[in-house]
Protein backbone atom coordinates (compact mmCIF):
# COMPACT_ATOMS: atom_id res chain seq x y z
CA UNK A 1 0.00 0.00 0.00
CA UNK A 2 1.35 3.38 -0.91
CA UNK A 3 1.86 5.87 1.87
CA UNK A 4 3.00 9.49 1.57
CA UNK A 5 5.00 11.51 4.07
CA UNK A 6 6.64 14.91 3.97
CA UNK A 7 9.83 16.01 5.72
CA UNK A 8 12.68 18.45 5.23
CA UNK A 9 14.36 18.27 1.84
CA UNK A 10 18.02 18.18 2.94
CA UNK A 11 19.90 17.14 -0.17
CA UNK A 12 18.44 17.55 -3.66
CA UNK A 13 17.75 14.65 -5.95
CA UNK A 14 15.25 11.90 -6.59
CA UNK A 15 15.77 8.28 -5.59
CA UNK A 16 13.67 5.15 -5.79
CA UNK A 17 15.06 1.96 -4.22
CA UNK A 18 14.49 -0.76 -1.63
CA UNK A 19 14.36 0.13 2.02
CA UNK A 20 17.35 -0.69 4.22
CA UNK A 21 16.34 -0.24 7.83
CA UNK A 22 19.24 0.91 9.93
CA UNK A 23 18.17 -0.44 13.24
CA UNK A 24 21.06 -0.54 15.62
CA UNK A 25 20.67 -2.49 18.81
CA UNK A 26 19.87 0.19 21.38
CA UNK A 27 22.44 0.86 24.04
CA UNK A 28 21.33 0.02 27.57
CA UNK A 29 23.60 1.57 30.17
CA UNK A 30 24.24 -0.80 33.11
CA UNK A 31 23.67 0.83 36.47
CA UNK A 32 25.84 -1.54 38.51
CA UNK A 33 28.74 -0.06 40.44
CA UNK A 34 32.30 -0.60 39.31
CA UNK A 35 34.06 -3.31 41.29
CA UNK A 36 37.56 -2.76 40.02
CA UNK A 37 38.27 0.91 39.37
CA UNK A 38 41.53 0.33 37.55
CA UNK A 39 39.81 -2.12 35.22
CA UNK A 40 37.09 0.43 34.36
CA UNK A 41 39.68 3.11 33.64
CA UNK A 42 41.63 0.70 31.49
CA UNK A 43 38.43 -0.24 29.63
CA UNK A 44 37.83 3.42 28.80
CA UNK A 45 41.38 3.86 27.56
CA UNK A 46 41.36 0.79 25.35
CA UNK A 47 37.93 1.74 23.94
CA UNK A 48 39.16 5.26 23.21
CA UNK A 49 42.07 3.74 21.31
CA UNK A 50 39.69 1.55 19.23
CA UNK A 51 37.34 4.45 18.53
CA UNK A 52 40.28 6.64 17.50
CA UNK A 53 41.45 3.98 15.10
CA UNK A 54 37.95 3.88 13.55
CA UNK A 55 37.96 7.65 13.22
CA UNK A 56 41.32 7.59 11.48
CA UNK A 57 40.09 5.17 8.86
CA UNK A 58 36.81 7.04 8.52
CA UNK A 59 38.78 10.21 7.97
CA UNK A 60 40.77 8.53 5.23
CA UNK A 61 37.59 7.24 3.52
CA UNK A 62 35.91 10.63 3.84
CA UNK A 63 38.97 12.45 2.53
CA UNK A 64 38.85 10.38 -0.61
CA UNK A 65 35.11 10.68 -1.13
CA UNK A 66 34.35 14.12 0.28
CA UNK A 67 37.61 16.04 0.30
CA UNK A 68 39.91 17.30 3.01
CA UNK A 69 37.58 19.88 4.45
CA UNK A 70 34.60 17.59 5.05
CA UNK A 71 36.90 14.88 6.39
CA UNK A 72 38.08 17.30 9.06
CA UNK A 73 34.92 16.52 11.03
CA UNK A 74 36.56 13.24 12.06
CA UNK A 75 39.58 15.08 13.30
CA UNK A 76 37.16 17.15 15.38
CA UNK A 77 35.61 13.91 16.62
CA UNK A 78 39.02 12.56 17.57
CA UNK A 79 39.70 15.76 19.47
CA UNK A 80 36.52 15.17 21.50
CA UNK A 81 38.01 11.80 22.48
CA UNK A 82 41.29 13.47 23.35
CA UNK A 83 39.68 16.22 25.40
CA UNK A 84 41.44 16.10 28.79
CA UNK A 85 38.52 17.80 30.56
CA UNK A 86 36.17 15.06 29.45
CA UNK A 87 38.65 12.33 30.44
CA UNK A 88 38.98 13.92 33.87
CA UNK A 89 35.22 13.90 34.26
CA UNK A 90 35.07 10.17 33.36
CA UNK A 91 37.78 9.41 35.90
CA UNK A 92 36.15 11.48 38.61
CA UNK A 93 32.81 9.68 38.23
CA UNK A 94 34.51 6.28 38.34
CA UNK A 95 36.73 7.12 41.30
CA UNK A 96 34.36 9.22 43.34
CA UNK A 97 30.99 7.68 42.57
CA UNK A 98 32.01 4.14 41.67
CA UNK A 99 30.33 4.47 38.26
CA UNK A 100 31.04 1.77 35.72
CA UNK A 101 32.84 2.97 32.55
CA UNK A 102 29.75 3.06 30.30
CA UNK A 103 27.71 4.96 32.86
CA UNK A 104 30.47 7.50 33.39
CA UNK A 105 30.77 8.17 29.65
CA UNK A 106 27.01 8.36 29.29
CA UNK A 107 26.66 10.81 32.16
CA UNK A 108 29.39 13.16 30.90
CA UNK A 109 28.26 13.02 27.28
CA UNK A 110 24.68 13.80 28.28
CA UNK A 111 25.89 17.00 29.93
CA UNK A 112 27.62 18.17 26.73
CA UNK A 113 24.78 17.04 24.47
CA UNK A 114 22.33 18.97 26.62
CA UNK A 115 24.53 22.06 26.60
CA UNK A 116 24.78 22.15 22.79
CA UNK A 117 21.21 21.02 22.31
CA UNK A 118 19.94 23.94 24.41
CA UNK A 119 21.50 26.47 22.07
CA UNK A 120 18.92 27.93 19.74
CA UNK A 121 21.27 28.40 16.82
CA UNK A 122 20.82 25.48 14.43
CA UNK A 123 24.55 25.12 13.81
CA UNK A 124 25.42 24.69 17.47
CA UNK A 125 22.40 22.54 18.14
CA UNK A 126 23.76 20.12 15.58
CA UNK A 127 27.12 19.93 17.40
CA UNK A 128 25.28 17.92 20.04
CA UNK A 129 25.09 15.21 17.34
CA UNK A 130 28.89 15.16 17.09
CA UNK A 131 29.34 14.50 20.80
CA UNK A 132 26.61 11.85 20.65
CA UNK A 133 28.19 10.16 17.64
CA UNK A 134 31.60 9.88 19.30
CA UNK A 135 30.47 8.89 22.75
CA UNK A 136 28.01 6.26 21.48
CA UNK A 137 30.80 4.62 19.53
CA UNK A 138 32.90 4.66 22.68
CA UNK A 139 30.12 3.16 24.80
CA UNK A 140 29.55 0.41 22.20
CA UNK A 141 33.21 -0.55 22.51
CA UNK A 142 33.08 -0.42 26.31
CA UNK A 143 30.01 -2.68 26.33
CA UNK A 144 31.52 -4.92 23.64
CA UNK A 145 28.55 -4.27 21.31
CA UNK A 146 28.87 -4.47 17.49
CA UNK A 147 29.68 -1.21 15.69
CA UNK A 148 27.78 -1.15 12.36
CA UNK A 149 29.64 -1.15 9.08
CA UNK A 150 27.58 0.64 6.44
CA UNK A 151 30.44 0.58 3.95
CA UNK A 152 29.62 -3.07 3.27
CA UNK A 153 26.18 -2.40 1.71
CA UNK A 154 26.40 -3.85 -1.80
CA UNK A 155 22.95 -3.53 -3.37
CA UNK A 156 20.94 -0.42 -4.28
CA UNK A 157 19.05 0.85 -1.22
CA UNK A 158 17.62 3.87 0.53
CA UNK A 159 18.57 3.90 4.19
CA UNK A 160 15.79 4.52 6.67
CA UNK A 161 16.94 5.47 10.15
CA UNK A 162 16.13 7.47 13.23
CA UNK A 163 19.16 9.60 12.47
CA UNK A 164 22.44 9.16 10.64
CA UNK A 165 25.58 10.16 12.45
CA UNK A 166 28.37 11.91 10.54
CA UNK A 167 30.49 8.77 10.78
CA UNK A 168 27.71 6.63 9.35
CA UNK A 169 27.12 9.13 6.53
CA UNK A 170 30.79 9.12 5.60
CA UNK A 171 30.73 5.35 5.16
CA UNK A 172 27.97 5.44 2.55
CA UNK A 173 28.94 4.39 -0.92
CA UNK A 174 26.83 6.44 -3.37
CA UNK A 175 27.05 3.59 -5.85
CA UNK A 176 24.70 1.55 -3.67
CA UNK A 177 23.17 3.99 -1.20
CA UNK A 178 20.78 5.96 -3.39
CA UNK A 179 19.41 8.11 -0.62
CA UNK A 180 18.38 8.26 2.98
CA UNK A 181 15.32 9.19 4.97
CA UNK A 182 15.48 9.89 8.71
CA UNK A 183 13.07 10.69 11.50
CA UNK A 184 15.17 13.57 12.81
CA UNK A 185 17.62 16.19 11.47
CA UNK A 186 17.43 19.36 9.43
CA UNK A 187 19.23 21.19 6.64
CA UNK A 188 22.17 22.19 8.82
CA UNK A 189 22.88 18.78 10.32
CA UNK A 190 26.16 17.16 9.36
CA UNK A 191 24.31 14.31 7.72
CA UNK A 192 22.62 16.86 5.45
CA UNK A 193 25.86 18.69 4.68
CA UNK A 194 27.64 15.45 3.82
CA UNK A 195 24.71 14.15 1.79
CA UNK A 196 24.93 17.31 -0.32
CA UNK A 197 28.67 16.78 -0.84
CA UNK A 198 28.16 13.14 -1.77
CA UNK A 199 25.19 14.22 -3.91
CA UNK A 200 22.98 11.62 -2.25
CA UNK A 201 19.33 12.71 -2.01
CA UNK A 202 18.14 12.96 1.59
CA UNK A 203 14.94 13.78 3.41
CA UNK A 204 15.20 14.40 7.15
CA UNK A 205 12.84 15.29 9.99
CA UNK A 206 10.23 12.78 8.81
CA UNK A 207 9.30 11.81 12.40
CA UNK A 208 7.52 8.53 11.54
CA UNK A 209 9.50 7.01 8.66
CA UNK A 210 11.18 4.39 10.83
CA UNK A 211 7.87 3.08 12.12
CA UNK A 212 6.20 3.23 8.67
CA UNK A 213 8.72 1.88 6.16
CA UNK A 214 9.74 -1.76 6.46
CA UNK A 215 12.49 -3.89 4.99
CA UNK A 216 11.14 -5.16 1.63
CA UNK A 217 9.25 -1.92 0.87
CA UNK A 218 10.23 0.33 -2.02
CA UNK A 219 10.82 3.96 -1.11
CA UNK A 220 10.76 7.01 -3.34
CA UNK A 221 12.22 10.28 -2.02
CA UNK A 222 12.46 13.82 -3.35
CA UNK A 223 15.31 15.61 -1.59
CA UNK A 224 14.21 19.03 -2.84
CA UNK A 225 10.59 19.04 -1.68
CA UNK A 226 10.93 16.57 1.19
CA UNK A 227 8.23 14.33 -0.35
CA UNK A 228 8.49 10.62 0.39
CA UNK A 229 6.29 7.79 -0.87
CA UNK A 230 6.44 4.26 0.46
CA UNK A 231 5.63 1.67 -2.24
CA UNK A 232 4.79 4.34 -4.85
CA UNK A 233 1.48 3.72 -6.62
CA UNK A 234 2.76 5.12 -9.92
CA UNK A 235 6.46 4.67 -10.51
CA UNK A 236 6.34 6.63 -13.76
CA UNK A 237 5.60 9.82 -11.80
CA UNK A 238 8.90 9.35 -9.94
CA UNK A 239 10.77 8.44 -13.11
CA UNK A 240 9.57 11.69 -14.69
CA UNK A 241 10.64 13.64 -11.58
CA UNK A 242 14.09 12.04 -11.66
CA UNK A 243 14.52 12.81 -15.35
CA UNK A 244 13.51 16.45 -14.81
CA UNK A 245 15.89 16.78 -11.86
CA UNK A 246 18.86 15.41 -13.78
CA UNK A 247 18.15 17.62 -16.77
CA UNK A 248 17.91 20.69 -14.56
CA UNK A 249 21.08 19.76 -12.69
CA UNK A 250 23.02 19.40 -15.92
CA UNK A 251 21.65 22.70 -17.13
CA UNK A 252 22.53 24.50 -13.87
CA UNK A 253 26.11 23.21 -13.82
CA UNK A 254 27.10 25.64 -16.60
CA UNK A 255 25.85 28.57 -14.48
CA UNK A 256 28.66 28.06 -11.98
CA UNK A 257 31.05 29.77 -14.36
CA UNK A 258 28.69 31.98 -16.38
CA UNK A 259 28.30 35.65 -15.66
CA UNK A 260 25.09 37.00 -14.20
CA UNK A 261 23.18 38.60 -17.04
CA UNK A 262 19.51 38.96 -17.96
CA UNK A 263 18.08 37.88 -21.30
CA UNK A 264 18.22 41.49 -22.49
CA UNK A 265 21.81 41.99 -21.39
CA UNK A 266 21.50 43.74 -18.01
CA UNK A 267 24.59 42.65 -16.07
CA UNK A 268 24.54 44.69 -12.89
CA UNK A 269 22.80 42.20 -10.57
CA UNK A 270 25.19 40.28 -8.37
CA UNK A 271 24.74 36.87 -6.77
CA UNK A 272 26.52 36.19 -3.50
CA UNK A 273 26.72 33.61 -0.74
CA UNK A 274 25.78 33.70 2.94
CA UNK A 275 28.38 32.20 5.25
CA UNK A 276 28.62 31.33 8.93
CA UNK A 277 32.34 30.63 9.17
CA UNK A 278 35.53 31.02 7.09
CA UNK A 279 35.30 27.42 5.88
CA UNK A 280 32.06 28.19 4.02
CA UNK A 281 33.86 30.44 1.52
CA UNK A 282 34.93 27.48 -0.64
CA UNK A 283 31.33 26.55 -1.48
CA UNK A 284 30.50 30.16 -2.38
CA UNK A 285 33.37 30.35 -4.84
CA UNK A 286 32.75 26.88 -6.23
CA UNK A 287 29.17 27.83 -7.06
CA UNK A 288 30.19 31.03 -8.79
CA UNK A 289 29.38 33.44 -5.97
CA UNK A 290 30.39 37.01 -6.78
CA UNK A 291 30.88 37.99 -3.17
CA UNK A 292 29.81 37.24 0.38
CA UNK A 293 26.64 39.18 1.09
CA UNK A 294 26.36 38.08 4.71
CA UNK A 295 28.97 36.71 7.06
CA UNK A 296 27.12 35.99 10.30
CA UNK A 297 29.88 36.80 12.78
CA UNK A 298 27.99 35.23 15.70
CA UNK A 299 29.75 31.89 15.25
CA UNK A 300 32.98 33.39 16.58
CA UNK A 301 31.21 34.32 19.76
CA UNK A 302 28.99 31.29 20.19
CA UNK A 303 31.64 28.68 19.44
CA UNK A 304 33.75 30.03 22.26
CA UNK A 305 33.99 30.28 26.02
CA UNK A 306 34.88 33.96 26.08
CA UNK A 307 34.26 37.06 24.01
CA UNK A 308 36.75 36.57 21.16
CA UNK A 309 39.67 38.96 21.29
CA UNK A 310 40.41 41.53 18.58
CA UNK A 311 43.23 39.29 17.38
CA UNK A 312 41.11 36.12 17.21
CA UNK A 313 38.46 37.95 15.24
CA UNK A 314 40.96 39.63 12.95
CA UNK A 315 42.39 36.24 11.92
CA UNK A 316 38.93 34.90 11.00
CA UNK A 317 37.83 38.01 9.07
CA UNK A 318 41.17 38.31 7.32
CA UNK A 319 40.92 34.69 6.16
CA UNK A 320 37.51 35.25 4.59
CA UNK A 321 38.47 38.56 2.98
CA UNK A 322 41.73 37.13 1.60
CA UNK A 323 40.05 33.95 0.34
CA UNK A 324 37.45 36.06 -1.48
CA UNK A 325 40.34 37.44 -3.48
CA UNK A 326 39.12 40.93 -4.32
CA UNK A 327 35.39 40.14 -4.19
CA UNK A 328 33.23 42.03 -1.70
CA UNK A 329 32.70 40.55 1.79
CA UNK A 330 29.87 41.97 3.88
CA UNK A 331 30.40 41.14 7.54
CA UNK A 332 27.58 41.65 9.98
CA UNK A 333 28.49 42.84 13.44
CA UNK A 334 27.46 40.72 16.39
CA UNK A 335 23.77 39.81 16.14
CA UNK A 336 23.41 38.26 19.56
CA UNK A 337 20.44 38.08 21.93
CA UNK A 338 16.94 36.97 20.97
CA UNK A 339 17.36 33.28 20.22
CA UNK A 340 21.17 33.45 20.17
CA UNK A 341 22.71 33.15 23.61
CA UNK A 342 26.27 32.98 24.91
CA UNK A 343 27.36 30.41 27.49
CA UNK A 344 29.65 32.96 29.15
CA UNK A 345 27.37 35.99 29.30
CA UNK A 346 24.00 36.27 31.00
CA UNK A 347 21.54 38.36 29.04
CA UNK A 348 18.81 39.90 31.18
CA UNK A 349 15.57 37.91 31.38
CA UNK A 350 12.98 39.55 29.15
CA UNK A 351 9.37 38.77 28.25
CA UNK A 352 10.06 39.15 24.52
CA UNK A 353 13.76 38.62 23.86
CA UNK A 354 13.24 39.00 20.08
CA UNK A 355 12.07 42.53 20.76
CA UNK A 356 14.60 43.15 23.48
CA UNK A 357 18.21 43.75 24.30
CA UNK A 358 19.96 42.34 21.25
CA UNK A 359 22.22 42.99 18.24
CA UNK A 360 23.09 46.68 17.80
CA UNK A 361 21.15 47.54 20.98
CA UNK A 362 23.54 45.34 22.94
CA UNK A 363 26.79 46.20 21.15
CA UNK A 364 26.29 49.95 21.34
CA UNK A 365 25.57 49.54 25.02
CA UNK A 366 28.75 47.49 25.49
CA UNK A 367 31.30 49.44 23.45
CA UNK A 368 34.09 47.69 25.34
CA UNK A 369 33.02 44.47 23.60
CA UNK A 370 32.06 46.16 20.32
CA UNK A 371 35.40 47.95 19.97
CA UNK A 372 37.29 44.65 19.60
CA UNK A 373 35.02 43.58 16.76
CA UNK A 374 35.06 46.89 14.92
CA UNK A 375 38.84 47.14 15.14
CA UNK A 376 39.21 43.57 13.87
CA UNK A 377 36.85 44.30 10.97
CA UNK A 378 38.64 47.50 10.05
CA UNK A 379 42.01 45.76 10.10
CA UNK A 380 40.66 42.94 7.90
CA UNK A 381 39.43 45.54 5.40
CA UNK A 382 43.08 46.15 4.47
CA UNK A 383 42.99 42.74 2.72
CA UNK A 384 40.12 43.35 0.29
CA UNK A 385 36.77 45.10 -0.10
CA UNK A 386 34.72 44.87 3.10
CA UNK A 387 31.25 46.02 4.04
CA UNK A 388 30.57 46.40 7.75
CA UNK A 389 26.88 45.90 8.40
CA UNK A 390 24.90 46.67 11.55
CA UNK A 391 21.99 44.37 12.44
CA UNK A 392 18.56 45.36 13.81
CA UNK A 393 18.76 49.06 13.07
CA UNK A 394 15.47 50.81 13.87
CA UNK A 395 16.33 54.51 14.07
CA UNK A 396 18.57 56.98 12.28
CA UNK A 397 20.26 57.81 15.60
CA UNK A 398 21.26 54.18 16.10
CA UNK A 399 22.85 53.98 12.67
CA UNK A 400 24.57 57.36 12.86
CA UNK A 401 26.06 56.65 16.28
CA UNK A 402 27.24 53.15 15.29
CA UNK A 403 28.85 54.61 12.16
CA UNK A 404 30.44 57.40 14.21
CA UNK A 405 31.85 54.85 16.63
CA UNK A 406 33.27 52.86 13.69
CA UNK A 407 34.92 55.95 12.25
CA UNK A 408 36.40 56.79 15.66
CA UNK A 409 37.91 53.31 15.84
CA UNK A 410 39.25 53.83 12.31
CA UNK A 411 40.90 57.11 13.29
CA UNK A 412 42.37 55.40 16.36
CA UNK A 413 43.89 52.64 14.19
CA UNK A 414 45.27 55.12 11.69
CA UNK A 415 46.87 57.03 14.54
CA UNK A 416 48.49 53.77 15.66
CA UNK A 417 49.78 53.33 12.11
CA UNK A 418 47.60 50.27 11.44
CA UNK A 419 46.35 49.82 7.85
CA UNK A 420 42.62 50.08 7.12
CA UNK A 421 41.14 49.37 3.65
CA UNK A 422 40.22 52.09 1.22
CA UNK A 423 37.19 50.24 -0.13
CA UNK A 424 35.41 50.07 3.21
CA UNK A 425 31.63 50.52 3.15
CA UNK A 426 29.40 50.96 6.19
CA UNK A 427 25.84 49.73 5.76
CA UNK A 428 22.91 48.27 7.61
CA UNK A 429 20.43 45.45 7.66
CA UNK A 430 16.85 46.38 6.96
CA UNK A 431 14.91 43.92 9.07
CA UNK A 432 12.69 46.16 11.15
CA UNK A 433 9.69 47.65 9.34
CA UNK A 434 10.49 51.10 10.76
CA UNK A 435 13.79 51.06 8.89
CA UNK A 436 12.15 50.00 5.62
CA UNK A 437 9.56 52.75 5.83
CA UNK A 438 12.24 55.36 6.59
CA UNK A 439 14.75 53.93 4.08
CA UNK A 440 15.02 57.09 2.05
CA UNK A 441 16.40 58.94 5.07
CA UNK A 442 18.66 56.08 6.13
CA UNK A 443 20.17 56.09 2.64
CA UNK A 444 21.60 59.55 3.28
CA UNK A 445 23.85 57.98 5.92
CA UNK A 446 24.35 54.32 4.98
CA UNK A 447 26.52 53.12 2.08
CA UNK A 448 24.22 50.14 1.46
CA UNK A 449 21.21 48.21 2.69
CA UNK A 450 20.79 44.48 3.02
CA UNK A 451 17.27 43.29 3.68
CA UNK A 452 16.97 40.56 6.29
CA UNK A 453 13.64 39.14 5.25
CA UNK A 454 13.70 36.41 7.89
CA UNK A 455 13.25 39.08 10.54
CA UNK A 456 11.51 41.71 8.41
CA UNK A 457 8.69 39.25 7.75
CA UNK A 458 8.41 38.13 11.38
CA UNK A 459 8.23 41.71 12.61
CA UNK A 460 5.84 42.85 9.87
CA UNK A 461 3.47 39.96 10.41
CA UNK A 462 3.98 39.85 14.21
CA UNK A 463 4.69 36.13 13.79
CA UNK A 464 7.53 34.53 15.74
CA UNK A 465 9.86 32.84 13.23
CA UNK A 466 10.57 30.08 15.76
CA UNK A 467 6.93 29.15 16.29
CA UNK A 468 5.65 26.17 14.32
CA UNK A 469 2.09 27.32 14.96
CA UNK A 470 2.28 30.49 12.92
CA UNK A 471 4.49 29.47 10.00
CA UNK A 472 1.63 30.26 7.61
CA UNK A 473 2.37 33.93 8.31
CA UNK A 474 5.86 33.66 6.87
CA UNK A 475 4.68 35.24 3.61
CA UNK A 476 7.51 36.70 1.55
CA UNK A 477 5.09 37.21 -1.34
CA UNK A 478 2.56 39.17 0.64
CA UNK A 479 2.08 42.55 -1.10
CA UNK A 480 2.75 44.33 2.20
CA UNK A 481 6.25 42.83 2.26
CA UNK A 482 6.80 43.70 -1.41
CA UNK A 483 5.83 47.30 -0.66
CA UNK A 484 8.36 47.46 2.17
CA UNK A 485 10.98 46.10 -0.23
CA UNK A 486 10.09 48.74 -2.79
CA UNK A 487 10.45 51.52 -0.22
CA UNK A 488 13.86 50.13 0.76
CA UNK A 489 15.22 49.69 -2.75
CA UNK A 490 13.87 53.00 -4.06
CA UNK A 491 15.16 54.76 -0.94
CA UNK A 492 18.68 53.43 -1.55
CA UNK A 493 18.67 54.30 -5.23
CA UNK A 494 17.43 57.82 -4.61
CA UNK A 495 20.74 58.53 -2.88
CA UNK A 496 22.93 56.50 -5.23
CA UNK A 497 23.32 53.58 -2.80
CA UNK A 498 22.91 49.87 -3.47
CA UNK A 499 20.32 47.57 -1.97
CA UNK A 500 20.87 43.87 -1.31
CA UNK A 501 19.02 41.07 0.41
CA UNK A 502 20.48 38.34 2.58
CA UNK A 503 17.35 36.76 4.05
CA UNK A 504 16.14 33.39 2.73
CA UNK A 505 13.83 35.12 0.27
CA UNK A 506 16.79 36.20 -1.92
CA UNK A 507 17.42 32.60 -3.00
CA UNK A 508 13.78 31.59 -3.49
CA UNK A 509 13.30 30.83 -7.19
CA UNK A 510 9.82 32.38 -7.18
CA UNK A 511 11.11 35.56 -5.56
CA UNK A 512 13.97 36.24 -7.97
CA UNK A 513 11.82 37.62 -10.86
CA UNK A 514 9.99 39.94 -8.45
CA UNK A 515 13.18 41.19 -6.82
CA UNK A 516 14.70 41.86 -10.24
CA UNK A 517 11.65 43.88 -11.17
CA UNK A 518 11.87 45.84 -7.91
CA UNK A 519 15.48 46.67 -8.78
CA UNK A 520 17.28 44.76 -6.01
CA UNK A 521 21.02 44.96 -6.77
CA UNK A 522 22.64 42.17 -4.69
CA UNK A 523 21.19 38.73 -3.88
CA UNK A 524 22.88 36.79 -1.10
CA UNK A 525 21.83 33.20 -0.48
CA UNK A 526 23.06 29.75 0.45
CA UNK A 527 25.83 28.82 -1.98
CA UNK A 528 23.90 25.98 -3.61
CA UNK A 529 21.05 28.30 -4.66
CA UNK A 530 23.27 30.60 -6.73
CA UNK A 531 23.21 28.70 -10.04
CA UNK A 532 19.42 28.44 -10.02
CA UNK A 533 19.05 32.19 -9.45
CA UNK A 534 21.54 32.88 -12.25
CA UNK A 535 19.66 30.63 -14.62
CA UNK A 536 16.35 32.35 -13.79
CA UNK A 537 17.89 35.76 -14.45
CA UNK A 538 19.21 34.59 -17.81
CA UNK A 539 15.70 33.70 -18.94
CA UNK A 540 14.06 37.02 -18.12
CA UNK A 541 14.20 40.51 -19.55
CA UNK A 542 14.40 43.40 -17.16
CA UNK A 543 11.25 44.93 -18.66
CA UNK A 544 9.09 41.86 -18.07
CA UNK A 545 10.23 41.62 -14.45
CA UNK A 546 9.43 45.30 -13.96
CA UNK A 547 5.94 44.74 -15.33
CA UNK A 548 5.57 41.74 -13.03
CA UNK A 549 6.64 43.75 -9.96
CA UNK A 550 4.27 46.58 -10.87
CA UNK A 551 1.31 44.19 -11.07
CA UNK A 552 2.41 42.35 -7.91
CA UNK A 553 2.45 45.57 -5.92
CA UNK A 554 -1.21 46.07 -6.82
CA UNK A 555 -2.24 42.60 -5.61
CA UNK A 556 -4.13 41.95 -2.42
CA UNK A 557 -2.76 38.55 -1.42
CA UNK A 558 0.31 36.38 -1.51
CA UNK A 559 -1.33 33.78 -3.70
CA UNK A 560 -2.27 36.38 -6.30
CA UNK A 561 1.38 37.44 -6.44
CA UNK A 562 2.56 33.84 -6.77
CA UNK A 563 0.05 33.23 -9.58
CA UNK A 564 1.57 36.14 -11.50
CA UNK A 565 5.10 34.77 -11.03
CA UNK A 566 4.09 31.25 -12.09
CA UNK A 567 2.29 32.61 -15.16
CA UNK A 568 5.39 34.51 -16.24
CA UNK A 569 7.71 31.56 -15.62
CA UNK A 570 5.47 28.90 -17.17
CA UNK A 571 6.85 29.33 -20.69
CA UNK A 572 10.51 29.95 -19.73
149 annotated ligand-binding residue:
no
For residues 433 and 455, what is the distance between their CA atoms, to the nearest angstrom? 9
Question: How much is the CA Rg of the chain, to the nearest whole Å?
Answer: 25
* CB of 381 vs Mg ion, minimal distance in Å: 23
Active-site entry in 77, 182, 409, 502: 502
Q: Which residues, 6+ apart, have CB-to-CB distance to 467 below 8 Å?
A: none
Interface region with Mg ion, contact rule CB under 5 A, candidates 78-86, 122-130, 362-370, 450-458: 450-458
Size, binding site for Mg ion by CB under 5 A: 3
| Strand-pair category, 227-230 with 291-296 | unpaired
CA-based nearest residue to 164, from 192, 139, 142: 192
103 annotated ligand-binding residue:
no
Choice between 89 and 455, CB closer to ligand PEP: 455
3-state secondary structure of 31: coil
For residues 98 and 41, what is the distance between their CA atoms, to the nearest angstrom? 11
Which does residue 296 touch among ligand PEP, Mg ion, none (CB within 5 to 8 A, set by kind)?
A: ligand PEP
Catalytic residue list contains 502: yes
Asked if 452 touches Mg ion (CB under 5 A), the answer is yes
Q: Based on the number of CB atoms within 10 Å of its own CB, is 353 exposed (0-12), middle (13-18) or buried (19 or more)?
A: middle
Which does residue 10 touch among ligand PEP, Mg ion, none (CB within 5 to 8 A, set by kind)?
A: none
Asked if 358 touches ligand PEP (CB under 6 A), the answer is no
For residues 537 and 520, what is the distance between their CA atoms, to the nearest angstrom? 12
For residues 564 and 555, what is the distance between their CA atoms, to the nearest angstrom? 10
Q: In degrees to the nearest 10, what's the CA dihedral of 363, 367, 373, 377?
A: 100
Asked if 500 touches Mg ion (CB under 5 A), the answer is no
**Contact (CB, 8 A) for 456 and 481:** yes
DSSP state of 196: H
Choice between 78 and 435, CB closer to Mg ion: 435
Choice between 177 and 461, CB closer to ligand PEP: 461
Active-site entry in 77, 190, 493, 495: 190
User: Between residue 246 and residue 305, which ones bind ligand PEP under the rule CB under 6 A?
Assistant: 294, 296
Residue from 7, 293, 452, 519 binding ligand PEP (CB under 6 A):
452
Q: How far apart are the first and last CA of the chain?
A: 37
* CB of 515 vs Mg ion, minimal distance in Å: 18
Task: Quote the distance between the C-alpha of residue 414 and its chain's center.
Answer: 36
Asked if 502 touches ligand PEP (CB under 6 A), the answer is yes
Choice between 109 and 453, CB closer to ligand PEP: 453
Task: Quote the distance between the C-alpha of residue 518 and its chain's center.
Answer: 27
Asked if 121 touches Mg ion (CB under 5 A), the answer is no
| Strand-pair category, 270-275 with 328-332 | unpaired
Asked if 455 touches Mg ion (CB under 5 A), the answer is yes
Catalytic residue list contains 190: yes
Interface region with ligand PEP, contact rule CB under 6 A, candidates 37-45, 260-268, 368-376, 453-461: 453-461
Which residues form the interface with ligand PEP (CB under 6 A)? Answer: 294, 296, 335, 431, 452-455, 502-503
Which residues form the interface with Mg ion (CB under 5 A)? Answer: 431, 452, 455
Q: What residues act catalytically? A: 190, 502
The binding site for phosphoenolpyruvate consists of 296, 332, 454-455, 465
Amino acid sequence: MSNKLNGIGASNGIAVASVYVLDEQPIVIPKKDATNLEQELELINSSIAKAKKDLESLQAIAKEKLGEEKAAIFEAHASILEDPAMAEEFTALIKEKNYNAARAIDEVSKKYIEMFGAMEDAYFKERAADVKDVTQRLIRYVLKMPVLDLASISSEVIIVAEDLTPSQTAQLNPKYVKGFACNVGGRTSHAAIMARSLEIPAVLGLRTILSTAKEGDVLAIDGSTGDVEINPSDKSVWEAKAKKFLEEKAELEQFKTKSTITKDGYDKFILEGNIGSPKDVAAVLENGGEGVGLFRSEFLYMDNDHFPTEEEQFEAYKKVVSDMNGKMTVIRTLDIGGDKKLSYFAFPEEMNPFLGYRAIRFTMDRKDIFRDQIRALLRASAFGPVGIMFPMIATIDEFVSAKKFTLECKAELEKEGVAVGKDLEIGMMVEIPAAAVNAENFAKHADFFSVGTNDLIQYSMAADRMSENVTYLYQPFNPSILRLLKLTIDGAHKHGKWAGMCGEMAGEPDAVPLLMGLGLDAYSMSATSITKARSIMSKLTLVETQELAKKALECETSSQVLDLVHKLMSDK
